[in-house]
Every structure is written in structure tokens, then in C-alpha cells.
Amino acid sequence: MMLDVLGAVLLGLGLLLATIGLYGLLRMRDINHQLHPAGLVTGPAVLLVLLASVATGSAEIITSAVLVILFVLVTSPLSAHAIARAARRRRRP
């Protein structure tokens, strides 16, 4: 019962962060400004949703969620850096 409540809270927080990040992504005009809300969606929001799936207690789901969390932790900063570097080289605002 307690894990279900924890999973629901984590899922709700993750979806709230994703919604706020997507709204910010649509509102920002400059690519450099869009990187911040995009980081909010790909970082904490995804991690909270995956941690909510860990609360199910299934070993298979926990294993796949941990692997996806590690993948997101590695690729999210790398992709943000690549996007910022490409925008800087093209000198686009």
C-alpha cells in the first residue's frame, strides 16, 4: 500500500515537471533558452517517472528502470552540450 502511494506521488511529480518543462520549451524562442526546460524534461521528470515504476516491486521492471536511468543520466548532458555547441557554431540565436 505504501509503495503504491509513493509510486503515485513520484509519477505525479514527474508528470508535473514534464508539463512545466514542455510549457517552457514552447514559450522560449532562443535555442539557448530552450535548453533549460528541455533539461528539466529529460532529467528529473524522466527519473521521477522511472522511480515510480521501481515502486511496483517487480524485479524485471526495476532492472530495466535502473538501466534506463543510467542511460538518461549519461546521454542527457551529452545531448544538451551537442545541441548548444551546434547552435553556437551556426551562430543562431
**Of 20, 12, 29, residue with least CA distance to 92:** 29
Q: pTM of the full predicted structure? A: 0.77
How many helices (H) and strands (E) would you count in the chain?
4, 0
The pLDDT, as a whole number, for residue 14 is 92
Q: Is 89 left (phi over 0), alpha (psi -120 to 50) or beta?
A: alpha
Q: How far apart are CA 16 and CA 26, in angstroms?
A: 16
Question: Residue 8 contacts by C-beta under 8 Å, 6 or more apart in sequence?
Answer: 52
Please name the CATH architecture into which domain 2-90 falls. Answer: Orthogonal Bundle (1.10)
How does pLDDT run along the chain (93 residues), one tens digit per residue? 888 899 999 999 999 999 998 898 889 888 888 888 888 888 888 889 888 988 877 888 888 888 988 998 888 888 888 988 988 888 755
